[in-house]
Structure 1
């Protein structure tokens, strides 16, 4: 008989300009960073290392949707 082993992933350090943090379905995190509602916000996935495409053009309301969509689809697990 085998037993399942449940492990919790450690949340990464929070950067000073963190606006929003999403957890992915794989258990990793997607951080939205930047100055807030104005442009120059971006997102980065700690699991698959993907990032936003045009951070200089993204307002918080727009980048939030993109980061949340990535978190909902990303199955990468944290490697650390």
Structure 2
């Protein structure tokens, strides 16, 4: 089902320092749930935003990610 694909892809990126990589596996979701739904919005998006903003702080760059709201079904 693709578990570990992003970790494997990061291992191929040898020129990116380890402190600029992050791996997270969301428990209890399938492929669709990783990219859509309430768990994506409540548990995964905050991790992405934290990663982006911490990278900006490390490099003294003003990073303000814009969250795009999706229509609720």
State the TM-score, normalizing by the size of structure 2. 0.26
Higher strand share: 1
Q: Tell me the TM-score normalized by structure 1.
A: 0.25
Task: Name the structure, 1 or 2, with higher relative contact order (CA <8 Å, separation 6+).
Answer: 1
Q: Which structure is higher in helix share?
A: 2
